[in-house]
Amino acid sequence: MILLACICAAAVAMGLILPVRWGLWGYLGAAALLFTAQAGINTAMGFEGIPISDSLLLFNDSYLSYVGFNLQITYRAFALPLLALAVPFLYRLRRK
């Protein structure tokens, strides 16, 4: 929950400082950066907080399966940060 709150706060900050002239490409770049950061943190934390070496035992020592699982979890949890990024950015676009 703390990770989600931190990523949402970063998304709001990025939405506020992102140059309006970058438009859609800037928004997509910021969303990709936030998604990559959240997926990296999820992967580095291990499965349910256990060490990565023990987490890999659950995935038959396959890094690809472990990273794919974390990407799927991040994808499912990314709606709120995406909304937090869009609201200030779209508000600034409307005022322009």
pLDDT digits (tens, 9 = 90+) for 56-88: 888 998 999 999 999 999 999 999 999 999 999
13-62 confidence digits (pLDDT tens)? 999 998 888 888 999 999 999 999 999 999 999 888 889 888 888 899 89
Question: Which sequence spans correspond to the domains of the chain?
Answer: 2-95
Q: Which pTM does this prediction carry?
A: 0.86
Give Cα separations from 23 to 2, 11, 48, 51, 56 (angstroms). 29, 16, 37, 40, 40
Give Cα separations from 27 to 33, 39, 59, 75, 83 (angstroms). 10, 18, 34, 17, 11
Confidence at residue 94, expressed as pLDDT on a 0 to 100 scale: 87
32: buried, middle or exposed (CB in 10 Å: 19+, 13-18, 0-12)? Answer: exposed
Residue 61's SS3 state is: coil
| CA dihedral angle for residue 3, residue 13, residue 75, residue 72, rounded to 10 degrees | -40
